[in-house]
Chain A
């Protein structure tokens, strides 16, 4: 569960309250606290660093515009993730309706992960880069709704209830989407079609 910086400095709810009365530094602290997490969620959803940066900014600007109406029933991170996922999915749907740039995959800046850890051989470095690229490409091919559930679970570590609040769907749907998303990923990465776990089970 995200809690970057929660233990240091004011709590999220306090920052929101201050932001609601026009305390700009308070909102700035919220942004600083969550910008990396929001950026990573968006990046895994949209598969494009340039877009991810834009969409992260849009997320915070939207949050700024809506902070006055925010009710602290849900966590701030849930609220921010919800905005981020909605903004990103809207963007992806809009993009899918338009023609896309052919060189888009190359704008992901995947090279940042190209470098292997210190001491790694060139082979390890390349293997790792290729593995990450395969994985990233596979995630990008999963349907948005499944992708969002998997990313929130496996990248962000949210539990099903939190994902349910972010995606605004029932927990059962979250369960189904995560399983379906992983099954699709498995098929994309390994070529194996998932079997029914109980296919040899008897009723």
Chain B
């Protein structure tokens, strides 16, 4: 069959009525005579229609009003032209910081934070009784320190809380990972959340890369809908509830949110099924416990994370490591365990372990920078409380630091096709592998202090692999006693009108108690709006 030839672009142009009469006739003849051309045209038409179906949105800011409210528009225009790419201010037109100012401010923050930390360290000598009232204490001194005979009594590092008001709510002591976790609670007035893990000292690599240690500056996470708040949920732990999701019943949307959550938890997706009907009946009862695998749980939490409006009406409490993994953007963790500190490198080297390649270290920092180095200014953490215990004399090994966070992981499939999400999950996978390797090294040889070769973590996808094998010689006390004994803390309720999901994390159970693959018990329930937690 003879059909006239034409350039493929003509199909799109034909769809858009942007062809000449002669081109039109050629295309139409081709479409009549060629099924392939007809199919192609139909596919292009569908794609164009889908793009057109994207809903339009109103600008979130009334720029006209802002412009008219400014007193000196020419100067504003000049500022804009000077700082074209300096989009640091999250509120458009309100905060714009010049690069030089930013650099000076960052330097000042680092210097002040370092000085404050040093002064606090000097002022508060560690004694067991000195454990701060606002602190997440390590349950035991890092075994590496014990093994090396260092003074680690009261070695709990202070929690660095940047928000004093909120820090007062974190009044109970919570056993946690040996590196001591410090959560920087996001500003209640903003959507931004922040999470940081305290790290006692800036490492050489951090100085080299210019990235502040998380102990210096809480790392701002950009997740708009969630804050990771350090606290405990002892009742949930006692009832073997891994995660508790409370939907605050302020209007009709929480009911829908709960339904959706149940669908995702029970059926792994929105499709109707028997399980969904069962789940809906549970939802109708306003409370229920669902046993769910990791992937389904991840999808359900992703829904919350993706939905700041509804997320504001949701409180989540549960296992720290689980939350951190399943809500990676909510808990953008500045992992304190990168093998970058000189101490760690020395430990590795002394144990004849292949030292992780520098490029890998750099990659970790780069990824961490990606996780945290957004355009928000990282706000400096306040000085630790006066009676706070100082940081350990030297950072504990990665094994001890990660042991308490160990969780088996089965999820490899990204929740979204979005490449950024996939990249993030890849990052988390690498971290998980590191943790797994470290936890392994923490669990077995440390019981006896015998040096043992351990299997290594898998190389990362980009070839920047971890060491092929490593050794560990840490003492038994390095294995954290993760289960909190008593009241571990209180959840922080979202402020009225806040767009922040309250997420409460408690330390992970001991790794040894976790089977290789398991389901998670998730409690979902409605909570009356005025009900205290």
Q: Which residues of A does B touch, CB under 8 Å?
A: 24-25, 27-29, 31-32, 35-36, 38-40, 43-44, 49-51, 53-58, 60-62, 64-65, 87, 90-91, 94, 99-107, 109-114, 122-123, 125-127, 130-137, 139-141, 150-151, 153-155, 159-160, 175-176, 178-180, 182-183, 185-186, 189-190, 192, 194-203
Contacts and interface: CB of A to CB of B under 8 A. Distances in A.
Contacts of B221: 103
Given A106-B224, A194-B43, A198-B3, A28 B67 contact: yes
A200 B76 CA distance: 59
Given A49-B60, A102-B423, A198-B37, A189 B47 contact: yes
B54 A107 contact: no
A122 B260 contact: yes
A133 B416 contact: yes
Contacts of B6: 197-198, 201
A94 B41 CA distance: 36
Contacts of B3: 198, 200-202
A interface secondary structure, majority:
helix
A91 B87 contact: yes
B177 interface: no
B34 interface: yes
A53 B30 contact: no
Given A106-B222, A198-B37, A160 B370 contact: no
Interface string B205-229: 0000000000000000111110000
Contacts of A175: 9-10, 12-13, 18
Nearest to B420: A105
Contacts of A28: 64-65, 67-68
A111 B51 contact: no
Given A103-B424, A141-B419, A202-B3, A60 B30 contact: no
Contacts of A105: 416, 418, 420-421
Contact of A43 (B57, B63, B310, B328): B57
Contacts of B2: 201-202
A112 B44 CA distance: 27
A54 B332 CA distance: 23
Contacts of B148: none
A190 B39 CA distance: 14
Contact of B37 (A139, A190, A201): A201
Given A39-B57, A175-B13, A31 B18 contact: no
B77 A65 contact: yes
Given A28-B68, A64-B77, A111 B310 contact: yes
B494 to A, nearest CB: 16
A110 B375 CA distance: 20
Contacts of B27: 197
B56 A62 contact: no
Contacts of B427: 102
Contacts of A135: 50-51, 53-54
A102 B80 contact: no
Given A91-B85, A136-B54, A154-B48, A102 B40 contact: no
Contacts of B225: 106
A56 to B, nearest CB: 6
Contacts of A183: 8, 44
Nearest to A39: B59
B366 interface: yes
B81 interface: yes
B321 interface: no
